[in-house]
């Protein structure tokens, strides 16, 4: 794949989002194009939301993540693929602050977030979806949504000090929750226990909940795993809408059809490293090569692994 194509087509992708205008002046820079053509992995991006530098995480003697340089372009959908054990989940956990690296750093909007705990990162706009745990199934769908707004004014101490402010806030949260439930076709379930939702509806709720705080970056770990085909399409539509609203999306997915379907950019990991990255259409074309390189012989992923 040629570097100039890579850059200009990424630009095309971004340009299609109506209200999104990053500064991409350098895309026309020939030396940059040449550089990109020569460095398929670790490519610099026009306007990265996240920059990962020399990030390493080991478990005992095993190196789970060893990423020298990776940038996540703002406003596009990036898929993270690779065989089981490649380090995708560990990388996710390092980005969201659920795990700590041995060394290295993550820049979010240019700021090193290494010292920020996960809830602080979430408040700053870096959120991931959470599985509907057993405890949460005993709350209503609406209550689950309200939990997604955590970190806003009106919590904890502030709540007890300024009840009128809190009530205003609470109403705004409820309004936002109902709007999202409407959009995700869950409004009719608002007062039901979340435990009564189908597998697919749970996934919808997980995504809707993540959007409560209007995040800048949304991280989805297998957004359609175990979801029936009809709901999968609906979920994917929702994912596609996120960049149009200016959000950056990173997701891990086993279903390669889904990857080719919705992602703009694909990052391929193996043994903790980024071994390739590029436009989805280019990486897709090289699928056979990637399969051979990964030695899986059955596609990049092993779909049985995460079947519910």
Ligand X SMILES: Nc1ncnc2c1ncn2[C@@H]1O[C@H](COP(=O)(O)OP(=O)(O)O)[C@@H](O)[C@H]1O
Interface residues with Mg ion (CB under 5 A) are 89
Q: Which stretch binds ligand X (CB under 6 A): 57-65, 200-208, 253-261, 283-291?
A: 57-65
Binding of residue 64 to ligand X (CB under 6 A): yes
Q: Least CB distance from residue 86 to ligand X, whole Å? A: 4
Q: Least CB distance from residue 248 to Mg ion, whole Å? A: 20
| Residues 249/255/256/262 CA torsion (nearest 10 deg) | -30
CA 100 to chain centre: 18
Binding of residue 128 to ligand X (CB under 6 A): no
User: Which tokens belong to 34?
Assistant: 């040449």
Identify the residue among 59, 112, 138, 182 touching ligand X (CB under 6 A): 59
- β-pairing, 103-108 vs 48-59, is antiparallel
CB atoms within 10 A of CB 255: 18
Interface with ligand X: number of residues (CB under 6 A)? 11
284, containing H or E segment: helix 280-285
Of 281, 276, 295, 290, whose CA–CA distance to 40 is shortest?
276
Q: Which stretch binds ligand X (CB under 6 A): 83-91, 126-134, 193-201, 211-219?
A: 83-91
Residue ranges in 193-252 that form contacts with ligand X under rule CB under 6 A: none
Q: Least CB distance from residue 84 to ligand X, whole Å? A: 4
For Mg ion, which is the closer residue by CB, 216 or 250?
250
Residue nearest to Mg ion (CB): 89
Partner whose binding site includes residue 248, from Mg ion, ligand X, none (CB under 5 to 8 Å by kind): none
Write the CA distances from 67 to 32, 33, 52, 269, integer angstroms.
21, 22, 7, 9
Q: Least CB distance from residue 254 to Mg ion, whole Å? A: 9
CB atoms within 10 A of CB 161: 9
For ligand X, which is the closer residue by CB, 78 or 169?
78
């Amino acid at each position: 794949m040629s570097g100039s194509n890579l850059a200009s087509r990424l630009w095309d992708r971004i340009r299609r989002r109506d209200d999104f205008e990053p500064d991409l002046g350098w895309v026309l820079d020939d030396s940059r194009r040449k550089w990109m053509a020569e460095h398929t992995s670790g490519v610099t991006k026009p306007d990265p939301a996240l920059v990962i530098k020399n990030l390493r995480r080991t478990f005992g003697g095993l190196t789970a993540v060893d990423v020298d340089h990776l940038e996540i372009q703002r406003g596009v959908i990036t898929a993270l693929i690779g065989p089981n054990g490649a380090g995708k989940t560990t990388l996710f956990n390092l980005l969201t602050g659920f795990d700590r690296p041995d060394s290295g750093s993550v820049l979010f909007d240019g700021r090193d977030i290494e010292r920020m705990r996960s809830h602080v990162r979430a408040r700053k706009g870096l959120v991931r979806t959470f599985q509907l745990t057993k405890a949460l199934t005993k709350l209503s769908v609406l209550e689950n949504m309200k939990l997604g707004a955590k970190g806003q004014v009106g919590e904890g101490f502030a709540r007890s000090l300024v009840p009128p402010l809190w009530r205003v806030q609470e109403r705004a949260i409820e309004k936002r929750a109902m709007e999202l439930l409407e959009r995700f076709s869950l409004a009719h379930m608002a007062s039901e226990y979340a435990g009564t939702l189908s597998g697919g509806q749970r996934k919808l709720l997980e995504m809707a909940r993540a959007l409560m705080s209007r995040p800048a970056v949304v991280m989805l770990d297998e957004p359609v795993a175990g979801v029936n085909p009809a709901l999968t399409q609906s979920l994917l539509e929702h994912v596609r809408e996120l960049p149009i609203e200016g959000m950056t999306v990173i997701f891990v997915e086993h279903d390669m059809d889904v990857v080719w379907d919705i992602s703009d950019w694909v990052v391929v990991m193996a043994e903790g490293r980024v071994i390739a990255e590029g436009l989805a259409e280019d990486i897709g074309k090289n699928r056979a090569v990637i399969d051979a390189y990964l030695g899986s012989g059955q596609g990049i992923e092993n779909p049985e692994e995460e079947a519910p």
